[in-house]
């Protein structure tokens, strides 16, 4: 599932085609994705000016002049691809329709944004813009890791007394928004923290050190266009490239990249997910 960097990469790619532009036409080609689409979705979107594109955790929020926002969740395989608009030095013509093009937005200025989702684990919903944080998918989410509300003191407070492993704690969306399996593995490697270590057993100093590491990993991943392991594509259809910079994720059985370390990256299952770490560097 796309994590914060992948969703932020898509959001930024959509900005030139959507923000400040009017939706001229919407085609909704099926009644549902993971859940049914909201009633009269096409009619409620068509003709509306998009005031802003924002991201909350792993969700894109498209704010409309009507006072509603379209919430978009990419799910496992969802893509939002732009065609017919100038992106950098290239014009991407509209491609032929594909089987899994479920929602198509024709934008003022000639761009087309196509939501394609082969496995249909994505979702869309319409909600009042001024009550976004009350939506059932958003109301329990913690602060954004790149925002001012997320700092060392906050994280120390939230991890106090938690006897779950630190990796499990950082994956808890109620503690911090948008972190997923890939980036938590990479963060803990850089921090030299064993993913099995109980969150409550970490010192305040080590918890404080996690905050800049989390931000650095996320910013590096966003700059690289996210990580493309299977389905992720940027809005222009290009792959992300951060997977080429993984230090531990997906590197089971390979030598640790840390200078002077002779250990081999290992993998074990934690809360139903693969955890990759260096047994020598992370203690």
Q: The pTM is what? A: 0.91
% of the chain surpassing 90 pLDDT: 82
Long-range Cβ contact pairs of 235-240 (< 8 A, separation 24 or more): 235/9, 235/10, 235/12, 235/13, 235/14, 235/17, 235/80, 235/81, 235/82, 235/87, 235/113, 236/13, 236/81, 236/82, 236/87, 236/88, 236/90, 236/92, 237/81, 237/92, 240/5, 240/6, 240/9
The range of the structural domain enclosing residue 159 comes to: 152-246
Residue 81 half-sphere exposure, CB side, CA atoms within 13 Å? 24
What sections of 75-193 are H helices per DSSP?
152-159, 166-171, 181-191
Residue 83 tokens read as: 């065609």
- Tell me: do 170 and 224 sit in the same domain: yes
Domain CATH for 240: 1.10.8.50
Pair 283, 201: CB distance under 8 Å: no
Each residue of 77-115: pLDDT tens digit?
899 999 986 555 455 577 777 789 999 999 998 999 999
Please give the pLDDT value at position 241.
Answer: 60
- Kindly tell me if the per-residue pLDDT of 5 is higher than 70: yes
- Tell me: do 94 and 181 sit in the same domain: no
Please give the pLDDT value at position 234.
Answer: 67
- Tell me: do 49 and 165 sit in the same domain: no
- Tell me: do 123 and 162 sit in the same domain: no
The structural domain count of the chain equals 2
Q: What is the mean pLDDT of residues 187-202?
A: 98
Q: What is the mean pLDDT of residues 152-179?
A: 97
- Tell me: do 125 and 9 sit in the same domain: yes
Q: Which of 104-118, 127-141, 192-206, 238-252 has the lowest mean pLDDT?
A: 238-252
Please give the pLDDT value at position 89.
Answer: 47
- Domain-embedded: residue 184: yes
What's the Cα-to-Cα distance from 35 to each of 31, 120, 248, 250, rounded to whole Å? 9, 9, 35, 31
- Domain-embedded: residue 261: no
- Tell me: do 125 and 54 sit in the same domain: yes
Which residues, in sequence order, are bridge partners of residue 103?
A: 28, 115
Q: What residues are annotated to the active site?
A: 2-3, 58, 273
């Amino acid at each position: 599932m796309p994590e914060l960097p992948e969703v932020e990469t898509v959001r930024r790619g959509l900005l030139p085609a959507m923000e400040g532009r009017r939706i001229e036409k919407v085609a909704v080609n099926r009644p549902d994705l993971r859940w049914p689409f909201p009633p009269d979705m096409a009619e409620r979107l068509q003709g509306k000016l998009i005031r802003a594109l924002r991201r909350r955790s792993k969700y894109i929020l498209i704010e409309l002049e009507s006072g509603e926002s379209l919430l978009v969740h990419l799910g496992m395989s969802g893509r939002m691809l732009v065609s017919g608009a100038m992106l950098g030095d290239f014009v991407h013509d509209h491609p032929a329709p594909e089987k899994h093009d479920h929602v198509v937005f024709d934008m003022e200025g000639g761009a087309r944004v196509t939501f394609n989702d082969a496995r249909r684990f994505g979702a869309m919903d319409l909600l009042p813009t001024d009550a976004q944080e009350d939506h059932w998918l958003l109301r329990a989410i913690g602060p954004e890791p790149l925002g001012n509300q997320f700092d060392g003191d906050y994280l120390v407070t939230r991890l106090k007394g938690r006897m779950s492993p630190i990796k499990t704690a950082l994956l808890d969306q109620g503690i911090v928004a948008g972190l997923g399996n890939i980036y938590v593995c990479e963060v803990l490697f850089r921090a030299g923290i064993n993913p099995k270590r109980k969150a409550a057993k970490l010192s305040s100093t080590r918890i404080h050190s996690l905050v800049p590491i989390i931000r650095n990993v996320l910013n590096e991943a966003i700059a690289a266009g996210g990580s493309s392991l299977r389905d992720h594509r940027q809005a222009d259809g290009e792959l992300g490239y951060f997977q080429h910079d993984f230090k531990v994720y997906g590197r089971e059985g390979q030598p640790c990249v840390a200078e002077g370390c002779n250990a081999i990256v290992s993998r074990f299952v934690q809360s139903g997910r693969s955890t990759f770490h260096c047994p020598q560097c992370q203690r």
